[in-house]
Amino acid sequence: MSCQILDGRLIARKIQDELKQKVEVLWRERQLRPHLTAVLVGADPASEVYVRNKQSACRRIGMSSDLRRLSASTSTAELLELIEQLNSDSHVHGILVQLPLPAHISAEQVLDAIDPKKDVDAFHPYNVGLVAQGRPKYLPCTPYGVLQILKHSGFTIRGQRVCIIGRSDIVGKPLASMLVQRNSPLGPDYANATVTLCHSLTPNLPNVTREADLLIAAIGQPKWVKADMVKPGAVVIDVGINRTDLGLVGDVDFESVSTIARAITPVPGGVGPLTVTMLLSNTLVAAQHSDLVSIGQCRDQTKDKKTTA
């Protein structure tokens, strides 16, 4: 069986072209330009690359962005102060705190402090809760990107057996929660799956993964998923990005798995470009909603002035 390579760059470009048009409409009709502020603490080389990619993607579709760089010795209190400033800055529509944070900073406290309306990563407990209840305001970027790859490649998941390897808060848990819903913002064909969420203590893991029509790897272990863990004809989505001596590799052993799978995402060039793209999409939504609030505020102010006069 020949294996289809799911080109994330191509899909990302298509979605970004659509977003660019929506950004232009927002500017034309409301003189509003979506703005993303990225916060980078320390100088982790991988995080530097991710943040740079996010900023250049913003530029490409006509959004503005800025980067707040803080030293690795920044305290939780200092970072919380910055978050407060960004929360109350009406020019900032989306706030992204690049993870991981240095170990001495409480990531939980920091993410909890972001205004849920500006939480374009969908990491705040309020947004996590809405996703879990099936009524999201924002979808977390990587899981949202996985759905977009499936949709743009013509694969549906309704009634499919899905196995996710990895129970992280960023990918595994929210993705499992999204896929079992009755519906999704992309339609019911991108929900209604039977989901198994596996992790390091799952017994007989290959027996479980081999049951899956759709296998999603998000564990951060280079080339960990081998061909004997995959059902022949399954669709395989590789969320991993691992830096090795051989360069960037995924969580899936691409060479062996692509001989047995029906379709597979490459690394790089698979899920990564979609994660960035869905961040842009969430930032656009944040700006669209903030405008409604600010129009309301403007009207209120006008009313106040008239009353005073």
Q: Which of 19, 36, 96, 219 binds ligand GUN (CB under 6 A)?
A: 96
Verify whether residue 109 is a known catalytic residue.
no
CB atoms within 10 A of CB 77: 10
- Determine the Cα–Cα distance for residues 219 and 274; give it in Å rounded to an integer: 18
DSSP string, 55-92: HHHHHHTT-EEEEEEE-TT--HHHHHHHHHHHHT-TT-
Nearer to ligand GUN, 97 or 260 (CB): 97
Based on C-alpha coordinates, what's the Rg of the chain? 20
Closer to ligand GUN by Cβ: residue 96 or 131: 96
Considering 16, 98, 148, 160, which one is annotated as catalytic? Answer: 98
Q: What is the rounded CA–CA span in Å between residue 96 and residue 55?
A: 11
Catalytic-residue membership of 117: no
- Residues whose CB falls within 8 Å of the CB of residue 252, separated by 6 or more in sequence, listed in order: 217, 223, 224, 225, 236, 238, 240, 264, 267
Distance, CA of 260 to CA of 245 (rounded, Å): 26
H or E segment and range at residue 217: strand 214-217
User: Alpha-carbon distance 189 to 293, whole Å?
Assistant: 33
Find the Cα–Cα–Cα–Cα dihedral 144, 149, 153, 155, rounded to 10°.
-50
User: In terms of Cα–Cα distance, which of 148, 130, 122 is closest to 10?
Assistant: 148
Does the protein bind ligand GUN through residue 58 (CB under 6 A)?
A: no
Q: Which of 36, 117, 121, 174 binds ligand GUN (CB under 6 A)?
A: 121
Cβ 128 to ligand GUN, closest distance in Å? 13
Least distance from ligand GUN to the Cβ atom of residue 303, Å: 39
Q: Which region among 90-98, 205-213, 255-263, 295-303 touches ligand GUN (by CB under 6 A)? A: 90-98
Residue 119 as a binder of ligand GUN (CB under 6 A): the answer is: no
Query: Is residue 37 a contact point for ligand GUN (CB under 6 A)?
Result: no
Q: Which of 15, 40, 97, 274 binds ligand GUN (CB under 6 A)?
A: 97
121 classed as catalytic: yes
170 contacts ligand GUN (rule: CB under 6 A): yes
Are 49 and 67 a contacting pair, CB within 8 Å?
no
Binding string, 231-270, against ligand GUN, x = CB under 6 A?
Answer: ----------------------------------------
183 vs 307: CA distance, rounded Å = 47
Catalytic residue among 119, 121, 251, 253: 121
For position 36 contacting ligand GUN by CB under 6 A, the verdict is no
Q: How far apart are CA 246 and CA 218, in angstroms?
A: 20
Structure letter (DSSP) for residue 252: B
Catalytic annotation, pick one of 16, 22, 54, 148: 54
Residue nearest to ligand GUN (CB): 99
CB of 96 to ligand GUN, least distance (A): 5
Q: Is 40 in the site for ligand GUN (CB under 6 A)?
A: no
Binding string, 129-168, against ligand GUN, x = CB under 6 A?
A: ------------xx--------------------------
Minimum CB separation of residue 58 from ligand GUN in Å reads 14
Q: Is there binding between residue 276 and ligand GUN (CB under 6 A)?
A: no
Helical spans, DSSP H, in 157-204: 172-179
Catalytic residue numbers read 54, 98, 121
Residues engaged in binding ligand GUN (CB under 6 A): 96-99, 121, 141-142, 170, 275
